[in-house]
Amino acid sequence: MFTIEHEFDATAITLIDEGEPPLCEDVIIRAFEDCVRITQYDPHEERVAEITLSPAQLRDLGAALDLPEGIYRLPRPGREEEP
């Protein structure tokens, strides 16, 4: 299950783990204009873990989910390919 909320400066997506225990804590993804922040409470450390991705890293992650093992460089929008 997930929710989508439009906040003042970001869109927030919350991923809620459902099913058989043990369940993972909710994952919150906030998409800003210049970055994407992914947070999740870590009960073992008793703190919130946070990862920040640039738009290019997020695009690469999305592409990587559909590619086989290997090394890739995707063309960057607005840039010509290097020879």
> In whole angstroms, what is the distance from residue 26 CA to residue 43 CA?
11
Secondary structure (3-state) at 34? coil
**Is residue 11 within a helix (H) or strand (E), and if so which, with residue range?**
strand 11-15
Tell whether the model's pLDDT for residue 51 goes beyond 90. yes
Spatial contact of 14 and 2, defined as CB atoms under 8 Å apart: yes
- pLDDT tier at 71, thresholds 50, 70, 90: very high
Domain boundaries, the chain: 2-64
pTM of the entire structure?
A: 0.81
